[in-house]
Chain A
Amino acid sequence: MSLPKASPPHLRRAFVAVHRLTIVISETERLVADPVPGITAAPHDDNLRYFDVTIQGPDGSPFQQGVFKLELFLPEEYPMAPPKVRFLTKIYHPNIDKLGRICLDILKDKWSPALQIRTVLLSIQALLSAPNPDDPLAPDVAKHYKENEADAHRVSREWTQLYASK
């Protein structure tokens, strides 16, 4: 798919829009055909850019046994701009705040168009295994994690039981 260089701007814009939508659709197809273990992502019927996501807490982390719900939205500019992802399930984690917002570099300045929904979700799963209290989004949780990791893990486990059990 390509367009001659000297096409009028409106045609060009339309072309880019269609091009981006194709990317969303083909990526969704691949996601459904070849799912990632421990992760599900399903687009809404009425909005192809809006996904319901679940991530299983990784084994060996305080979030083990938990299933966390997330929402993922692909903005108009995707894949040139990163997707917007948010936890819907409450979680006690230094890089995820009360509103479920996630502090992750690839969702911000380290975004690259070569990343996909799949890689983003895998990165989030990895973030659950390896919290980074030195770059916190929830300062109180991060403080807890730094000062008494064992106790913080206990709270994380409790929350997982309370809010994220199947």
Chain B
Amino acid sequence: MSSDYEFSDDDVDNVFDDEDIEMQDDDSDGDDGGDMDDFKVAPKTTRKAWEVQFDSLTQASIEKLMEKDVEHIRGILGVDESKAGLLLRHNLWNKERLIEQYMDNPDKTLIAAGAAMPEPEPPRPSRRPSRKPKASASPKSDTFVCSICFDDAPDITPLSLDCGHAACSGCWSAYITSKIRDEAEHACRCMAEGCGLVASDEFVRSAVDEDTYVRFEELLVRHFVACMPHLKFCPYPSCTNTVSCPGAASKTSLTTVVPIVSCGARGLASTSSGSMTQSQELTRQVTGKEHKFCFGCIIDSDHRPVVCGVALLWLKKCRDDSETANWIKSNTKECSKCMSTIEKNGGCNHMTCKKCKHEFCWVCMGPWSEHGTAWYSCNRYDEKGGVDARDSQSKSRASLERYLHYYNRWANHEQSAKLALDLFAKTEKKMEEMQITSALTWIEVQFMKKAVEEVDKCRMTLKWTYAMAYYLAKGNQKDLFEDNQRDLERAVEDLSELLESPIEPENIPTLRQKVTDKTVYVQKRNSIVLEDTAEGFLEGRWAWNATVEGFEDPVPQDP
């Protein structure tokens, strides 16, 4: 088994070697938390086949990356820092394209990015008229009148960008604040109509209050992250971390890997520093939910082992179908002749299909003609007509049944995962109880907590195996997959039962032994499922019974 690990590891590493080197370069620049990085890297050397390599970056380190790019552009193009920033933002941080465009036509590139003014056009023949537009004439007169609010008080300060379109500081502040706060826009163009100049960062800083400037910086980081295919912002509320995952940067890679990543933070971030005491902060970090999400799609939890395309297909189907399907299943039958779905909402059992006028018995589904006058009760279950009718009905119900089979198990595991919090609390109590009733120490009773965590993790895996199994094409591969799934499920249920069982003081040593053994076993079964599926994706072993983006179309097969 270990040789397998090594093989797949090397494989993945070779593919993404370039990015790895690049990322390490970036790390060496950031001197903060170097120890932490070492600490994090260590476990990754034994990365499993189903795990992807990723790094968590704070807002500060992203800002450093941005600075580096700005510096790079500044050096090459010979523009100042603020202009380099504007150029990069406008060109979506694509350095190569920016340099190419700039070399081609520097003025056009600068104007498009809002970093420079276009030459005044109207007076073409005579080049002498002042470069500044009319608005700038007003500050020269004795009193300045703001062109936005017409305020002409002597104490107002006129402000303008390089274009000279002046307005009072109050108007600028209100305008930029509204752009940043209400529109989440980081590029604040000049207020004058048709003027495309963008306010520099220093100008923004001077115009708005501190909170708004913090928001502005966050917007810049978000924009940068959104432009980079190998970066993704943590989707958890008010978290500002970013995850770098070069292995999942392209769409095609998502058919072979399930890039579940974690930004390293836990729980809900404190909205403003100082509102939490240090101990509260510590509790949050230890007990809060890990910020785990999928790099490749919008699902903000672990959907291993199934790839994004299939997971999304399944979620969509569940949203569309499950409630309706449940209702249809419990309230309707199909006409045995034309297969119309019929709801019986009253009357006797002598049914006449509205569509095909077929007369049949609601109880046995056989044709009514066989019933004669026995309409009040049906005792003809074994009649041939009835058996045939039920046969054909069952066929048409089979697909619905099949879906509900997978859906119910999927939903069941989801429900159990939701109850996991309760289970955690209950286990904690049990652990305390154990300490009192036996001679075990706190550390020695940790096996309970570990078992609960493992059960939770496995239920997550199990949940998604049902989504996967629903879409897997029939065949040996699916049989093997379902065998693995069954083994894991059985082991998880056994362990769950053990955890729920009452604690007798005299049984604690045996219970401990059993739980520990089972936990190890469950862990092993879980890795078998995850590893086998992950390898299957890398080898392209899985075939689907539906069209999944990025995969070959399914081969038609018998129902």
Contact = CB atoms under 8 A, between A and B. Distances in A.
Contact of A5 (B147, B153, B209): B209
Contact of A30 (B150, B157, B173, B191): B150
Interface SS of B by simple majority? loop
Given A1-B170, A2-B169, A22 B209 contact: no
Contact of B175 (A2, A22, A80): A80
B191 A112 contact: yes
Given A16-B174, A16-B177, A114-B192, A1 B153 contact: yes
A12 interface: yes
A40 to B, nearest CB: 21
A47 to B, nearest CB: 20
A56 to B, nearest CB: 24
Q: Could you say which interface size class chain B belongs to?
A: 20 to 34
Interface string B147-159: 1111101011100
Given A1-B168, A2-B170, A79 B148 contact: yes
Contacts of A26: 149-151
Interface of B: 147-151, 153, 155-157, 165, 167-171, 173-175, 177-179, 182, 191-195, 209, 211
Interface in A76-116: 77, 79-81, 106, 112-115
Contact of A2 (B155, B194, B209, B211): B155
Contacts of A81: 178, 182
Nearest to A12: B209
Interface of A: 1-3, 5-7, 9, 12, 15-16, 19-20, 22-23, 26-27, 30, 77, 79-81, 106, 112-115, 119
Contact of B182 (A19, A77, A79, A113): A77
A143 B155 CA distance: 56
B150 A27 contact: yes
Contacts of A79: 148-149
Given A77-B182, A80-B175, A80-B178, A2 B168 contact: yes
A19 B193 contact: no
A22 B209 CA distance: 22
B148 A23 contact: yes
Contacts of A2: 155-157, 168-170
A114 B170 contact: no
A1 B156 contact: yes
Given A2-B169, A3-B170, A79-B148, A113 B153 contact: no
Contacts of B175: 80, 113
